[in-house]
């Protein structure tokens, strides 16, 4: 591996040390948001269940620490009960199994993990609405026609399933969903809607909803980050330039709206303006997407995306990191989960920590992604 800048090496060391330290309490449980310094735990069915084991795998890949591996494997086994009960899972299946079974299969080549990830891909495929060409987001009566921008990050499980089985059906579903996002979620300026409601019978577009953003026409920063990374991953798997173009448009919108410290507000169009709270998790996820985009374009553009991704990660490390604190379990502070419902505002979030670690690992030269 080529030598990395000093701050990247330090950030990776701090990340590994902190994950190891926090692991002594969290073990094989499922943390979500760190409130007052302590990660609150969630059941295995919660959408974030993949991120802690994913973080353990990122560190294990470098350190081969067997205790981390055992906990990541235990987390994966705890998800098994969900694979036989479709009512307990939703479209977040992709987040959950990509970072558990998918990561373990990539690192260890384990056949049980491959089987689990394929079962998960089947469950995700079953959520496809063939009339509207979208993957249904959540369960519950009245939500049959809802699709959300986050789901772009669930598509890699389907692309992966087609590549390991040689069966293109998963790919067809993923690309139809991605095309629907292009057609119905994307705006002229590269920002995106969070939720689009379709008629589940006719497939007709009914309504755009604000969801976790400030308003239907605002620009939720994490949604924009899901779009940057999700569209560039769709391009990675398909080679369809429409996805690359979409990823670039969202990237330019995101970069142009960043405040001076390169870490986004929770919504780029919230009325609080410059006094709005940040969402560090959006910054971390977008940085991973920008680093992927940099690998997909010509030299000049590549430098711009890479520098932007690095600036975000450097700011997260140097201004948002909780490295010295013995009492804070999160890696990076100032994430915002759901501002409109005032849930977990200005806290550490496990997905912010995961994407921060993924981004730093990428800068360290660990180029294989779990997605
Ligand atoms: N709905 C997943 C998220 O909070 O981004």
CATH code where residue 303 lies: 1.50.10.10
> Angle at the Cα of 210 (from 207 to 212), degrees rounded to 5?
140
pLDDT at position 171 over 70:
yes
Assess whether the C-beta atom of 76 lies below 6 angstroms from ligand 1: no
**pLDDT tens sequence across 4-15:** 999 999 999 999
Ligand 1: residue whose CA is nearest its atom 1: 150
Q: How is 244-286 classified by DSSP, letter by letter?
A: HHHHHHHHHHHHHT--TTS--BSBTT-TTGGGSPB-HHHHHHH
Which whole number is the average pLDDT over 227-256?
A: 98
Protein residue closest via CA to atom 4 of ligand 1: 337
Pocket of ligand 1 contains residue 222 by CB under 6 Å? yes
Q: With 80 as the cut, is the pLDDT of residue 2 above it? A: no
Pocket of ligand 1 contains residue 92 by CB under 6 Å: no
Nearest to 276 by CA among 346, 348, 354, 364: 346
* pLDDT higher than threshold 90 for residue 326: no
Q: What digits encode the pLDDT tens for the residues 268-294? A: 999 998 889 999 999 999 999 999 999
Task: Please give the mean pLDDT across all residues of the chain.
Answer: 97
Give percent above pLDDT 90 in the chain. 96
For residue 79, the Cα-to-chain-centroid distance in whole angstroms is 19
pLDDT surpasses 70 at 116 = yes
Helix (H, G, I), strand (E, B) or coil at 202: coil
CA of 287 to the centre of ligand 1 (A): 17
pLDDT above 70 for 339: yes
Q: Which of 344, 342, 285 is nearest to 34 (CA)?
A: 344
Mean pLDDT calculated for residue range 33-61? 97
Is 312 a residue whose pLDDT tops 80?
yes
* Predicted pLDDT at 337: 98
Write down the residue that tokens 């999700």 correspond to. 230
User: What is the maximum span of the chain, computed from C-alpha positions, in angstroms?
Assistant: 56
Task: In whole angstroms, give the CA distance from residue 194 to residue 223.
Answer: 6
Per-residue pLDDT averaged across 141-162, rounded?
98
Mean pLDDT of 125-135: 98
Number of domains in the chain: 1
Over residues 139-164, the mean pLDDT reads 98
Determine the average pLDDT of the residues in 202-223: 98
> In the predicted model, is pLDDT for residue 125 greater than 80?
yes
Could you tell me the CA-to-CA distances from 2 to 48, 61, 269, 350, 363 in Å, in that order?
Answer: 33, 17, 40, 29, 10
Give the Å distances, CA to CA, from 31 to 66, 90, 226, 237.
20, 19, 21, 30
Give the distance (Å) from ligand 1 centre to CA of residue 211: 10
Pocket test for ligand 1, best of 148, 150, 284 (most atoms within 8 A of CB): 150
User: Strands 38-41, 31-35: parallel, antiparallel or unpaired by DSSP?
Assistant: antiparallel
- Tell me if 371 is assigned to some domain: no
Whether ligand 1 lies within 6 angstroms of the CB of 150 is answered as yes
Residue nearest to atom 2 of ligand 1 (CA): 150
The two structure tokens encoding residue 348:
């550490």
- Range 163-168 average pLDDT: 98
Decide if pLDDT at 1 tops 70.
no
Band of residue 81 on the pLDDT scale cut at 50, 70, 90: very high
Q: Label residues 14-30 b or e (16+ Cβ within 10 Å = b).
A: bbbebbeebbeebebbb
Whether residue 33 lies inside any domain: the answer is yes
What does the pLDDT read at residue 229? 98
Distance, CA 150 to ligand 1 centroid (Å)?
A: 6
Indicate whether 370 pLDDT > 80: yes
Calculate the CA dihedral of residues 82, 85, 90, 92 and round it to 10 degrees: 20
pLDDT of residue 275: 87
Going by pLDDT thresholds of 50, 70 and 90, the confidence category of residue 86 is confident
Is 369 domain-assigned? Answer: no
Domain residues for the domain of 167 are 6-364
298 lies in a domain?
A: yes
Is 1 inside any structural domain? no
Is the pTM here over 0.95, yes or no?
yes
Q: Ligand 1 centre from 259 Cα, in Å?
A: 22
Q: What pLDDT sits at residue 146?
A: 98
**Which positions are annotated as active-site residues?**
92, 150
Per-residue pLDDT at 332: 98
Residue 40 lies in a domain: yes
Mean pLDDT of 174-182: 98
**Strand order from edge to edge, sheet including 205-209:** 146-148, 195-198, 205-209
Residue with tokens 């959408």: 47
Which parts of 167-204 are beta strand (E)?
195-198
Residue 219, in any domain of the structure? yes
Tell whether 100 is covered by a domain.
yes
């Amino acid at each position: 591996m080529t030598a990395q800048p000093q701050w990247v090496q330090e950030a990776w060391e701090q990340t590994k040390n902190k994950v190891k330290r926090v692991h002594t309490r969290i073990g094989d449980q499922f943390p979500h948001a760190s409130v007052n310094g302590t990660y609150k735990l969630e059941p295995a069915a919660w959408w974030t269940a993949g991120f802690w084991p994913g973080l353990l795998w990122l560190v294990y890949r470098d350190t081969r620490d067997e205790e981390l591996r055992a906990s990541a494997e235990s987390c994966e086994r705890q998800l098994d009960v969900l694979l036989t009960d479709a009512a307990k899972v939703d479209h977040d299946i992709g987040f959950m199994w990509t970072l558990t079974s998918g990561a373990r299969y990539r690192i260890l080549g384990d056949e049980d993990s491959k089987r689990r990830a394929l079962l998960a891909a089947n469950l995700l495929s079953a959520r496809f609405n063939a009339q509207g060409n979208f993957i249904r987001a959540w369960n519950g009566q009245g939500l049959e026609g809802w699709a959300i921008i986050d789901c772009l990050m669930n598509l890699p499980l389907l692309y992966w399933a087609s590549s390991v089985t040689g069966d293109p059906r998963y790919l067809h579903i993923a690309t139809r969903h991605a095309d629907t996002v292009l057609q119905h979620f994307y705006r002229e300026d590269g920002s995106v809607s969070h939720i689009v409601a379709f008629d589940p019978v006719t497939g007709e577009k009914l309504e755009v909803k604000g969801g976790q953003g400030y308003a239907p026409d605002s620009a939720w920063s994490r949604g924009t980050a899901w779009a940057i990374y999700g569209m560039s991953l769709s391009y990675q798997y398909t080679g369809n330039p429409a996805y690359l173009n979409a990823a670039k448009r969202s990237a330019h919108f995101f970069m142009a709206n960043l405040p001076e410290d390169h870490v986004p507000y929770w919504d780029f169009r919230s009325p609080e303006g410059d006094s709005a709270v940040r969402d560090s998790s959006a910054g971390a996820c977008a940085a991973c997407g920008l680093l992927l985009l940099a690998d997909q374009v010509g030299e000049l553009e590549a430098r711009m995306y890479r520098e932007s991704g690095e600036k975000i990660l450097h700011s997260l490390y140097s201004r948002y990191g909780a490295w010295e604190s013995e009492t804070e379990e999160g890696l990076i502070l100032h994430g915002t989960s759901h501002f409109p419902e005032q849930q977990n505002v200005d806290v550490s979030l496990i997905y912010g920590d995961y994407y921060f670690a993924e981004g730093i690992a990428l800068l360290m030269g660990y180029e294989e992604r779990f997605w």
